[in-house]
Amino acid sequence: MEYQNTIYKEFRLTGPGLHTGRTVTVTVKPAPDNFGIAFRRTDRNNIVTQYALADKVGETSRGTTLGSGHHSIATIEHLMSALHGMKVDNALVELDGGEIPIIDGSARPWLLQLARVGIRQQGVERKVFNITEPLHFEFSKTGSIYDVEPCDHFAVECEIDFKDSVIGHQTAVMNDLSEYAASIAPCRTFVFLHEIEPLLHLNLIKGGSLDNALVFVNKELTGKQLKRLAKTFNKDVRNFKVHDGVLNTTDPYFPNEPARHKLLDFVGDVRLFGSMINGKFKIYKPGHKANNAFARFLMEYKRNQEK
């Protein structure tokens, strides 16, 4: 029998949101048995507790946003991934703004804090949904494919395919959550330069930097372009570089870091199913919108199984 977990004591992390650039303080608190994972904004007069469930997600275009409108909470996926990776069943997340800080673009800062305060076992049996038959799901809008087979634990194989780009075809595998901390949590978000140039001109992604994302470049850059980008990212142009297609002053942690980060996002997004899941997942071209659709598919499947 597995028992539910929470954390021993609360912790805080402060930083800017990726898209808004606004500094937000997040406080993660212990929660009682059977509470689940929930978020609430303390900067609102009418505080609403929003549970981290796939059918409560309101937006998935540039991350996973819980709720909508006045009480929405954006970019929850990396924190959710760390909570899933550390097998935390119950936690309350409070924040004084509308977006979870991007920190370094990975789940590692959250994981380190969870490890620092410690995971506390509770006295109630963990809710685990066991996949008992092969399942197949396709999300035609993005060409994403999800297959899951019965397994006595949670495992993921992730395949991405960025044709005609410096990323190309990559695969990442996590055989068990015990591998999460070392091989998945540190992997940073990534983007193509041609995708962010229009956003930079529109003064969006205000919290983005070369310290919290890998920026891939599909074209040769002139000296003038490098100078402009160095100024945009507040870097010394003498140290600014494009190395193996990456616009950055640091190298990727792994040759397949993009695939590993997509796996990281999936670990967070699928946790919005509402509980831990035992199954072997094989996912192709995942993304937040497809991940959310797949998590909703699993929720509906579970409801039908319980009828």
Known catalytic residues are 288
Cβ–Cβ < 8 Å for 188, 212: yes
Phi first, then psi, for residue 273 (nearest 5°) are -60, -30
Q: Let me know if 239 is exposed, middle or buried by CB neighbors in 10 A (0-12, 13-18, 19+).
A: exposed
To the nearest 5 percent, what fractions of the chain are helix, strand and coil?
Answer: 30, 30, 40
Nearest to 76 by CA among 55, 43, 58, 101: 101
DSSP string, 121-167: EEEEE--EEEP-S-EEEEETTTTEEEEEE--SSEEEEEEEEETTSSS
